[in-house]
A and B are shown apart, each in its own frame.
Chain A
Amino acid sequence: METRSDLALSIDDLTVAYHEKPAIWDIDLDVPEGALMAIVGPNGAGKSTLIKAVLNLIPRAAGTVTFYGAPYEQARSLVGYVPQRGSVDWDFPTSALDVVTMGLYGKLGWFRRPGHAERELALAALEQVGLVDFADRQISQLSGGQQQRAFLARALAQDAQIYFMDEPFAAVDAVTENAIVDILRELNQRGKTVLVVHHDLQTVAEYFDWVTLLNVEIIASGPTAENFTLENLQQTYGGRVSYLHGGQLLAASAP
């Protein structure tokens, strides 16, 4: 096994199983620094599982993962994570600003409390996603799109090198989708590596320069232009992909 430290992320022979049933199977994936990558695949393809296994949130059955050549435990501060919006209870008694501040807890470590500097950083991150006016609002009073942007701001506050986002575009309005795309591009321009679990096949080519097609195993991975092909998509989705005339992708029947 070789680890190249110029790769932002290197996954080698990664397998994760739930009760001996593989959720992802023998994944090999190298992501160069600065890639803006979509991870697409049908339901149950193991997209979220891949991210969670990479971040050590669930046990791996086999395989190694390195970030800039180092294992996760040593690379924690380089990694930002945006979980699915539905993974938390939005009735939790806290404000948008507070949620964003949580992104800074990792740098603070145990016991140290966030202070003035952290507040400023969190406000700056909220500003970036256009939510600074909602800083003090109880999080259940935010719309779904605003909640998603708050999560994004939290990851931005982490100031990581490589970001993992689990379906940030799921059930958001157009305003939020545009805001997220702007932020993805800005992160990309600043040389950050971003991996996004994505559902909308129509926008893959527009938003992302790299793509990984996943269905338990990796079907294809690399620059979008070469890999986001009908053939690969049919292999990933099992032939349930239809095209609009003019060669534009419509959607997969299984989103």
Chain B
Amino acid sequence: MMPVERLLIEFLLTFLSRDELNAFLRSPQNTATLVGALIAVSGALLGAFLLLRGMALTSDAISHTVLLGIVVAFLLMVHGFRVEGDTSSPWLILGASLAGVGTVALTELLYRSGLVRQDAALGLAFPLLFAIAVILVSRFVDDAHLDEDAVLVGEIGLAWANTNSHCFQNCQSVTVTEDHPAAKMTRQCVNCRELGISPRDERAEFIEVCGNCGPYSPAQAWNAGLLDSEPALVFFPKSISVTLAMTLLTLAFVLLFYKELKLSTFDPALAKALGFRPGALNYALMALVSLVAVGAFDAVGSILVIAFFIIPPAAACLLTDRLALLLLLSPLIGAAGAVFGYDLARGLLFGFLPIADGIAFVNRLFGLDLVEEWDSSISASMVLMIFLFFLLAWVFSPRYGLISTALRRANSRRLFDDQVVLAHIHNHQFTAQAATELRVETLHLHFRWTQRKMGRVLARLRALNYIRIVSGGAILTERGEERVHRFRATMLEAHNMPASLA
């Protein structure tokens, strides 16, 4: 990871000065927004396929059970390999992803037994693994980065603080030994505890101990005042490299296997018959979902991450009916949610509307005493923003939104009413009963409609020049005649109409 990160920084340094880059990365807002957006992009790309496969809840199960992988990998790092536990270490992320794949395998094992249904199998597998993880966390892990709070919502606001330092100039590593001028030597009693005596006791024996000996990286050395001239350092947040790597991996997977993913999602049987391997692809997809869930864990926890997977494609589905466009729109919606979500957490709706003003207005209006200051969880605000975009698509989508659907339905109801009346006139005009059947004043009685409704329909039909009123009775105009015939022709092919309209 480190050499790749260095290459990336060197690339960035061709556009920015080192100070500008450091200033950018040390801003909590920039790092949180960037990390959130990257999670949203990778999550939405994979989520689109999960949604189309009817596996939205599988991502929820996976994001919960990767906690078990994270805890086990964390404990292994600390107690097995005796290194510092770090939830953004690539090894931990890879190892923990296995837990997600394990969930899917366990679910299939339960399901294949034929004794439980598929949804029940999922409901069985994931609480088990999550419960084990929670017990392990509370029992064996006492690290600030892995407490129950972090599990819930993550700490995206602190992502900027956990960095790797890269030195580019004037790089001097220092090893402080006991004879180094900066070494801080202290006396330590070696037998005080054993004998239960105070260091002042005359039996106490002392050794000289170095309090700050050891190797110092250039960054640490500069901080400790061991260097005379400042090294050229760049502090790169680990979360950015982790989320960037998983986004690139997801992007490569989706681009490379676009055709295969499409086919095996739409028609797995044909995919198999044509010699593609839908089973293997499914597991690859699940492995990536796990990887993203683990990579996102630090930032957004394991509960909220499902929102980054599912809501953006659910919104995009309402806006397009092309898969390629869906895969373009979903990440955009997710990323926009992350950007505006940060602002929302800091009290600005869409980055410019202060929420405090809104609360103050409500306070004035109702005489309430709500706290006007607004400072909330960043990850939760991002989810809220993504959901707001879904809501907008749900209501306003030109083709599938609530409003357009309601308008279309009202329109077709109106057309239907028109047709019923036109057909009635067509059937009875020029017959013996025409005078009674087609009298405008009594027409509504034949239909058992209200007079108002019939009046509306007749007025509309007259305005459209479909009917004329001749001596109190309705008859069709030429245009109306034509309309009836056209309708009959389409009625005969009613079975050819789309299933959704039939």
Q: Indicate, yes or no, whether A interacts with B.
A: yes
Is A88 an interface residue, CB under 8 A from the partner?
Answer: yes
Restricting to B257-276, which residues have a CB under 8 Å from any CB of A? 257-260, 262-263, 265-267, 269-276
Partner of A143, one of B256, B321, B496: B496
B499 touches A102 (CB 8 A): no
- Cα–Cα, bound, A84→B323 (Å): 23
- Cα–Cα, bound, A102→B260 (Å): 9
Residues of chain B with a CB closer than 8 A to A105's CB:
259-260, 263, 271, 274, 276
Restricting to A59-106, which residues have a CB under 8 Å from any CB of B? 73, 76, 79, 81, 83, 87-90, 92-95, 98-99, 102-103, 105-106
A143 touches B498 (CB 8 A): yes
A143 touches B273 (CB 8 A): no
Is B195 an interface residue, CB under 8 A from the partner?
Answer: no
Tell me the smallest distance from the CB of B124 to a CB of chain A, in Å: 20
Restricting to A88-138, which residues have a CB under 8 Å from any CB of B? 88-90, 92-95, 98-99, 102-103, 105-106, 108, 110-114, 138
B275 touches A175 (CB 8 A): no
- Cα–Cα, bound, A52→B268 (Å): 12
B267 touches A87 (CB 8 A): yes
Partner of B273, one of A19, A79, A94: A79
Contact A143 to B263, CB < 8 A, known contacts A79-B273, A93-B320: no
Restricting to B484-502, which residues have a CB under 8 Å from any CB of A? 493, 495-500, 502
Contact A57 to B266, CB < 8 A, known contacts A89-B52, A138-B321, A173-B496: no
- Cα–Cα, bound, A143→B498 (Å): 4
Residues of chain A with a CB closer than 8 A to B272's CB:
56-57
Residues of chain B with a CB closer than 8 A to A108's CB:
259
- Cα–Cα, bound, A88→B54 (Å): 12
B265 touches A92 (CB 8 A): yes
- Cα–Cα, bound, A55→B275 (Å): 11
- Cα–Cα, bound, A88→B271 (Å): 12
Restricting to B38-60, which residues have a CB under 8 Å from any CB of A? 52, 54
A146 touches B496 (CB 8 A): yes
Is B443 an interface residue, CB under 8 A from the partner?
Answer: no
- 18 A-B pairs besides A93-B322, A106-B274 with CB distance below 8 A are A57-B269, A81-B270, A81-B273, A83-B269, A92-B323, A93-B320, A93-B326, A94-B321, A94-B323, A102-B267, A105-B276, A110-B260, A111-B259, A112-B259, A113-B259, A144-B499, A175-B493, A175-B496
Please list 7 pairs of residues, one from A and one from B, whose beta carbons are closer than 8 Å in the complex, sorted by A's number. Answer: A76-B275, A88-B266, A94-B266, A94-B321, A102-B262, A138-B321, A142-B498
